Homo-oligomer: A and B are copies of this chain.
């Protein structure tokens, strides 16, 4: 593999929410030969149970480290995920959903970029998916490409000629393909939580946009859904 340097594996920072997609991305990064440093962000989200799921997934898949960083996005609100006065929809929505968190992926990638510089890593992985989540502007390929350009201008590493690569391996995949790939790579999906309104035991509501897409993914893949529902 061209990115392996002098025997040591190259490092990569992998954004890990604790959901199905980012768990699969972590498994992909490992398969590609990276020493994976998993980063989760506690940003005042309702579904804190995700962070416990992220810790389990990081351990299960052999991440070299799992770092949780805290940002109090809830002080500005503006999303059903960070503001308890905005309800999480229980039926499909069109357009940009109220679960959109303003500038979330820009923030997540900024945190990943800073940690990557400290680690000497040139590779960042993020589980965005433009097909399923076309409503989120910061999941689009053009956003990811723009961030990759920004990263080279923003950092010491970029100035010194070591550019960054933002990997978004799920970008054009269906949920079916993600479930299939994760299963093939040994991801224990029972450990993951995708639901926007999971209860304190991590049981999913089965009705929100995120649950619906996940359920449909398992059905389409013909793989038994290990998710625990409330």
Interface positions of A (Cβ within 8 A of B): 67, 69-73, 75-78, 96, 100-107, 110-111, 113-115, 117-118, 137-138, 140, 142-143, 146-147, 149-151, 153-156, 158-159
Contacts and interface: CB of A to CB of B under 8 A. Distances in A.
A141 to B, nearest CB: 10
A98 to B, nearest CB: 11
Contact of A155 (B138, B142, B149): B138
B72 A70 contact: yes
A137 B154 contact: yes
A190 B93 CA distance: 52
Contacts of A158: 137
Given A137-B159, A143-B153, A76 B106 contact: no
A201 B216 CA distance: 59
Given A107-B110, A138-B153, 9 more contacts: A70-B72, A102-B117, A104-B114, A106-B150, A107-B114, A137-B159, A142-B153, A143-B153, A146-B146
Contacts of A103: 110-111, 113-114, 117, 154-155
A73 B149 CA distance: 23
A71 to B, nearest CB: 5
